[in-house]
Structure 1
C-alpha cells in the first residue's frame, strides 16, 4: 500500500488554500525520494555511526 492517493489529495487541497501553490504539478514524485534514500545509504556507509559526530566536534 502506498500513499500516492493521499499525496494527490493533499496537493489538491493545498492548491485550494494557497493559490500560488502548483497543486499536482508541484508535487514531488518517487524519483527524488529514491535519490534521497540512496544518498542516505551512501552517507551511512561512508560515515559510520559516530564518525560524523567526531568530525563535527573537531571542526567546532
Structure 2
C-alpha cells in the first residue's frame, strides 16, 4: 500500500515537471516566471504542504 502511494507521488511530480517544460516550450511563461513561482512555492505552498502532511 505504501509502495503504491509513493509511486503515485513520484508520477504526480513527473507530470508537473513535464507540464512546466511544455508550457515553457510553447512560450506560455517568460524568463521571469521561474523566479516568481519559485518564491511562491518556497514561501507559501511548501510550508502549507508540510503542515497538511503533519496533520495526516
Say yes or no: TM over 0.5.
no
TM-score normalised by structure 1 residue count: 0.36
Q: TM-score, normalised by structure 2?
A: 0.38
Larger Rg: 1
Higher relative contact order (CA 8 A, sep 6+): 1
